[in-house]
Amino acid sequence: MYGLMFNSTYLLFALPALLLGLYAQARVRSAYGRYQKVRNRHNITGYEAARRILMVAGLSGVMIQETPGQLSDHYDPRDKSLHLSAGVARSPSVAALGIVAHEIGHAMQDAEAYAPLRVRTGIVPVVQIGSWLGPIVFLLGMLFQTPNLAVVGLVLFSLTAVFALVTLPVEYNASARATRLLATSGLVVSEEEEQGVRAVLNAAALTYLAAAIQAISTILYYVFLLGGFRRRD
């Protein structure tokens, strides 16, 4: 009976966030798949677009490297490098323009010491620890009927929600910068290109929102369990 209630309660908290996450991933695949097939008017690859945008943004010191995987594109502030997947670096698509400009938006944030980016980068080590250690500590606290230990686990895992929430302004700001960069560099010249870039960026933004909601939902579930445990105690 308790196991059934446990599972049902978890679904109550987790299912909406899970469905949103799946929807967000589907949106990303759909937008990327659609606009990866649409050539940009300048017919330049993501790599060529990156070089042009970096020059316009005054970020000539940023290195461009190809990275394995699909949609694995990212900017690494540690060595000031822009990593582009083969599907983006070698493709003259509208989708590639949006992804490249977004990652260069992060490079601009880094160059300007954008506060949310600095906070996110700074808390990465503790978040990596808390994301896997928190649930373990929480479960041990519940099993051994030690509420204080469970609270420690809850606090550790809560760092994932902090990270997800800080990520939101970082990603939305990078997308806003991407739109401006593509306009000022003259790489987007048609309405179709604007729509494609916007579709790709909006779909990606939804995944970060879904991640934040999923983290918060899990925390609320832990709080619910801890509250029920204390009432029984």
Which positions are annotated as active-site residues?
A: 103
HEC per residue, 5-49 = HHHHHHHHHHHHHHHHHHHHHHHHHHHHHHHCCCECCCCCCHHHH
Q: Give Dmax over CA atoms of the chain in angstroms.
A: 68
Closest C-alpha to 159, from 171, 167, 169: 167
For the chain, where are the E strands, in sequence order?
63-67, 74-76, 81-85
Q: What are phi and psi of 180, to 5 degrees?
A: -70, -40
Closest C-alpha to 159, from 124, 196, 193, 121: 124
91: left (phi over 0), alpha (psi -120 to 50) or beta: beta
